[in-house]
Amino acid sequence: MSIKIAPKVRKATVTFTTQARENASQAILTGEWDNWTACTMKKNSNGTFSVKVNIYTGRSYQFGYSIDGNWTPDTDLPMVASPFGTNNSILDLPQVAAVRKNTTKRKPVVKRKTGRRPAKA
């Protein structure tokens, strides 16, 4: 099982990938970041399931996979006991610092003297 994180300013794009048994037909990801809403994962040609999710940074989240109806935590991450007698994985997403880029391609405005004098009052 693996997780790839691409940080952005306030959210991170997290790619969840899990290896299921060879004949698994469905994997669903659920987690605290969206109140445990089921997210169907795509089955890849190599037998893994994966999905990308945008998640706010700056905190930890509990999550897990339901593979053909069987709750499965990500064993590569820390775990905590759930209230249902199983374990949930813990995903820690630290706050990502905002990066400011100067994307302006215009030259700075320079004030030039025109040779005109202000009108007398």
Statement: residue 107 has pLDDT above 90: no
Burial of 42 (0-12, 13-18, 19+ CB in 10 A): exposed
Q: Taking residues 21-43, report their average pLDDT.
A: 94
Tell me: pLDDT of 65 over 50.
yes
Q: What rounded mean pLDDT belongs to the chain?
A: 82
Of 50, 52, 59, residue with least CA distance to 17: 50
**Is the pLDDT confidence value at 49 over 70?**
yes
* pLDDT reading at 5 higher than 60: yes
Q: Which of 27-31, 40-44, 113-117 has the lowest mean pLDDT?
A: 113-117
What would the two tokens of residue 72 be? 């499965």
Position 51 pLDDT exceeds 70: yes
Mean pLDDT, range 98-104, rounded to an integer? 47
What residues contact residue 79 under an 8 Å CB cut-off, 6+ apart?
73, 87, 88, 89, 90
Domains and CATH numbers, the chain: 2-93 (2.60.40.10)
